[in-house]
Amino acid sequence: MKGKEFLKKMYVSANDMDSGVNSLVRYSIKAGNDAYCFAIEDDTGIITVIKNLDREKVANYQLTVSAWDLGTPTNTAVAQVVIHVSDVNDNSPIFTQDNYTVVVQKMYQRCVLPQLNSIS
């Protein structure tokens, strides 16, 4: 994508008020990643886009992210991460028909031609 850099990483963060090993937090994506478009680093919470996203196919993703500590017993928290996919100009225009025929009489020096339609 020329001229624009799009966000490919984001992160979630959870804090545990315990100390030592009990305060260490790990992360995972529990739901909403059926197409495996995202990965999460279990020790940092960094979520990375690992596949191309197409807004025409899916405009939003809602991931359920789980965080848990390494204490005994383990304590867990869950958060929702909503990702809105921006639209980019990734489709070429297409004419609505393959051929157009226009008949113009010779005596007209200036005339208005019919409108040609295309979609993108």
Give yes or no for a contact between 120 and 92, defined as CB atoms under 8 angstroms apart.
yes
> Which CATH number does the domain housing residue 35 bear?
2.60.40.60
Q: What is the mean predicted confidence (pLDDT) over 87-99? A: 76
Q: What residue numbers bound the domain in which 34 lies?
A: 9-84
Number of domains in the chain: 1
Q: Please give the model's pTM, rounded to 2 decimal places.
A: 0.70
Please tell me the predicted confidence (pLDDT) of residue 3. 40
pLDDT band at residue 77 under the 50/70/90 scheme: very high
pLDDT band at residue 111 under the 50/70/90 scheme: low
